[in-house]
Structure formats: structure tokens, C-alpha cells
Structure 1
């Protein structure tokens, strides 16, 4: 069994991941999604972008990269949120609620 050849480039990270983050936040506002389902929603959006747009024609590569888009957006959002909280209140920066 051969592994699929996956072509990725700088634009995948610069365009796809921010789009996943923005769409997740917009849908979270309009659909009132509970917090526990937001990461799942980001993952589904990442998979859709990857399968239907970025890696159209290669389903396995689309799934593989879709997980990267979704989980990268989740991690970027969590990191940004933690950084902002730490900046606003440096005394409580050690009490992160993950």
C-alpha cells in the first residue's frame, strides 16, 4: 500500500486555517452553538474546505489535510485566547482553563 502524495503549500496555512477560524466564530455567533461542539464544528469546516476546494479530486489527501486545517484552527484559537487572557491579567496567567 502506497501513501498518497499530498501537495501542500504556504497558502494552505495562510488562507485555509484563518477561514476555518473566521467561519467557526461567525457560525458560533449566529447559530448559538454550545462551547463543547465548537471544536467539532471547526474540524467539519476544515474537512469541507479541504475535500471540496483545496484538494478536490484526491479524497484521501482531502481528509488528511482537512484534519490539519481543523485542528490547526482549534489550536490557534486556543493559543490566541490564552495569550490575550495572560496579557490582560498577568497575575492569573498560571490559572489557564483548558
Structure 2
């Protein structure tokens, strides 16, 4: 039985390059492939999991899955906060 949390080794480079890369993937899916807005969270989650499991945290599946969901949530938070901020700016 596993009683301890997995050890996740992360650094600042994960936050600096993972979230912008996933943001670019999501925006490319939206602009070039005309993915509906309701599917953007799925695109972000799948791309974040692929990036995290196979590139960032190769060899540590639990850390890859955890950080993949973390990257996805950070990307979607950034995307939707920018969208709402721009919308509020345009209304004033």
C-alpha cells in the first residue's frame, strides 16, 4: 500500500516553457483547426499530459500525470483570464 506522496522534481523551466507551449498548441487548435471552444480544455489537457509524461517528467509516471494536469490548469486559467480581461477592457 502506498502511503507517501510521489516525489516530484520540478524547476522554474517547467513553468517557463511548458505553459506557453501548451498555450500555443491550444491557440493553434482554435485558430487553424477551428476546434470549438467547448473542446479547448480537452486539447489543453491531452497536450499537457503528452508533454509532461513524455518530455518533462520522463521515467516518473505519477509526476508526469500530476504535472500534466497542473500545466493544463495553468494554461486554461491564463487563457480565460486574458479573454475576460480583454472583454472587460473593451466594454469600458
TM-score w.r.t. structure 2 length? 0.91
Q: Quick check: 1:86 aligned with 2:92? A: no
Counterpart among 5, 24, 36 of residue 26 in structure 2: 24
Query: Tell me, what secondary structure is at the counterpart of 1:31?
Result: coil
Structure 1 gap ranges (5+): 91-98
Q: Give 1:44-83 correspondences, 5 Å limit.
A: 44-83=46-85
The match for 1:10 among 9, 12, 17 is 12
> Size of the alignment, in residue pairs?
90
For residues 19-76 of structure 1, the C-alpha deviation after alignment (integer angstroms, 9 at most, x for no partner) is 1001111122222211111111101111111001000000110000000001110010
CA distance in 2 between partners of 1:33 and 1:82 (Å): 20
C-alpha RMSD of matched pairs (Å): 1.0
- Segments of 5+ residues of structure 2 without an aligned counterpart are none
